[in-house]
Amino acid sequence: MIHNRLCSGLKVMLVVLVFSGLLEDAKGITLVEKLYINRDSMEMVTGDKLPYLVFNRSTNFEQQNAVLELAVGDTLDLWIINTDTATHGFQIKSIMGTSLSIPAGDSVHLVQEFSNEGVYIYHDPQQYPYNLYLGLGGMIYVKNHLHERFYWNMKEHASNWNTTLVNGGTVSLNNYKPDYFTINGNSHPDINADSTARIEGNVGDTLILCIANTGRGIHSIHFHGYHAEILYSSKHSHHVGRSKDTFPIYPMETLELRLVPDKPGEYPVHDHNLVAISANSIYPNGMFSTILIAP
């Protein structure tokens, strides 16, 4: 399983290398992507359903936002199609100076080159922060390596907000009490079933974890078993190079971590705000996953 993923990762990179070799300026490839703004409801680990909006690669509603991945120097050629009945928008935080507005049923086109390694958040800035709160926030990973990588889009949900907001009601930003906590739209135990989130590897491997916090709360991710190194931090560039076991992440900020496991085993990675290890007050159905390292 791990082996397969690694192989496919290598194939993709080989294609990239061939392509970039063919290009005169060797600047990188152009990645063509389409994102659809879909509205439906998200099924929580408890079976409850919350009204939700997401950026998916097709018109099929999936409760996790698409991860767009490029290499440094690549160009993103992106269409964003609004399948919803309301106006939405699109922006890439700290990359695009202005946002694009997308009327209901309409689409926009965007071409953007990425010259720096890092994890970037794309989102809907309309009705800020409510469209984002309702789910419209995903990540773009700009890599400069071939290592195995994993992606965590962390978000909390105050279930009463979703219903209120889609019915045109108002909520108080100062009184935010989330009761669900998800990584890529899943809570424990479902996070481990998501191969893009569940960190798996072998002793000595270099494993990369890309984290985006598209929620409103601060999360403090703790690794059992290992320290990891900060490769990129959107908020604190001076934290790069630090070796830590606990990584706070602010809303709308991102981190890139490197883990080189020195021993085998299965170890938790979880939010150390232990209240976030719950779903509607049921422990441990929140931001809790495990790392699995083979000898």
Partner 1 sequence: MKNIIILALLLSLCCCKEVRAQIVNQLLFSKTNGVYAMWDGTLVKTMGYSTTLSANIDLPSPTLVYNQGDSVKLTLWNKSQGAPHTIHLHGLDVDQQNDGVPQLSFTVHHDEKKDYHFVAPHAGTYIYHCHVVSTVHVQGGMYGMIIVRPTNGSTTQTWDNGYTYDQDMAWMMSEVDTTWHHDTIINHTHDTSQTTHTLPTNYTPQYFLVNGKSEQQLSGAGLAVNANVNEKIYLRLANIGYYGNRIVLPSALNTKIISSDGRPLPNLEQSDTVMLFPGERYGLLLEATGAITDSIQIEYFDLNTQAIQNTQNVPVQISGTVAVAELSNEQPSISCSVWPNPANTQVHLNVALLQSELLNGELLDINGRMVHQFSTFLAKGNTSLTLPITELGTGVYFLKLKTSAEQLVKKLIVEH
Residues found near partner 1 in the complex (CB under 8 A): 156, 173-178, 216-220, 222, 224-227, 238, 241-246, 248, 263-268, 271-275, 277-278, 281-285, 290
Chain CA centroid to CA 6, Å: 20
User: CB neighbours of 4 closer than 8 A, spacing ≥ 6?
Assistant: none
As a whole number of angstroms, the distance between CA 239 and CA 108 comes to 36
User: CB neighbours of 234 closer than 8 A, spacing ≥ 6?
Assistant: 93, 94, 118, 119, 120, 121, 253, 254, 255
CB of 44 to partner 1, least distance (A): 14
Using the minimum distance from each CB to partner 1, give the nearer residue, 39 or 270: 270
Amino acid present at 34: K
Using the minimum distance from each CB to partner 1, give the nearer residue, 170 or 175: 175
* Beta bridge partner(s), residue 248: 220
Using the minimum distance from each CB to partner 1, give the nearer residue, 145 or 272: 272
As a whole number of angstroms, the distance between CA 259 and CA 266 comes to 14
Using the minimum distance from each CB to partner 1, give the nearer residue, 57 or 244: 244
CB of 291 to partner 1, least distance (A): 10
CB of 220 to partner 1, least distance (A): 4
Peptide bond into 248 cis (omega under 30): no
As a whole number of angstroms, the distance between CA 184 and CA 138 comes to 9
Using the minimum distance from each CB to partner 1, give the nearer residue, 156 or 200: 156
CB of 221 to partner 1, least distance (A): 9
As a whole number of angstroms, the distance between CA 3 and CA 7 comes to 6
CB of 57 to partner 1, least distance (A): 31
